[in-house]
Amino acid sequence: MAAVDAADVWPEDAEDVEEGIVATWFVRDGATVEEGDTLCEVQIEKVSVDVVAPVGGVVERGVEENEPFDQGRTLVHIEPG
């Protein structure tokens, strides 16, 4: 199982920011994606970051749309299929 953690996408100059938020998901839970597909857009401070699938597989979202998350959260799990 692969995962993308919030810490993986946290901008360097935003270390002191406590929370980010998922602005939009581009895939639903259970969707099959390929490596490199954009999964969601997160907003940390004022910066938008795209979260990209590190491997192909089936998506399980770790955070819902408009839900705040901290650096310790896992944003998404991917079950390689």
Residues that bind another protein (CB under 8 A): 17-21, 23-28, 31-33, 37, 41, 43, 45-48, 66, 68
Nearer to another protein by Cβ, of 2 and 17: the residue is: 17
Dihedral sign from CA coordinates of 35, 36, 39, 44: positive
Strand (E) or helix (H) holding 9: helix 6-9
Q: Minimum distance from CB of 8 to another protein (Å)?
A: 18
Give 43 or 74: the residue with its C-beta nearer to another protein: 43
User: How many C-beta neighbours within 10 Å does residue 12 have?
Assistant: 5
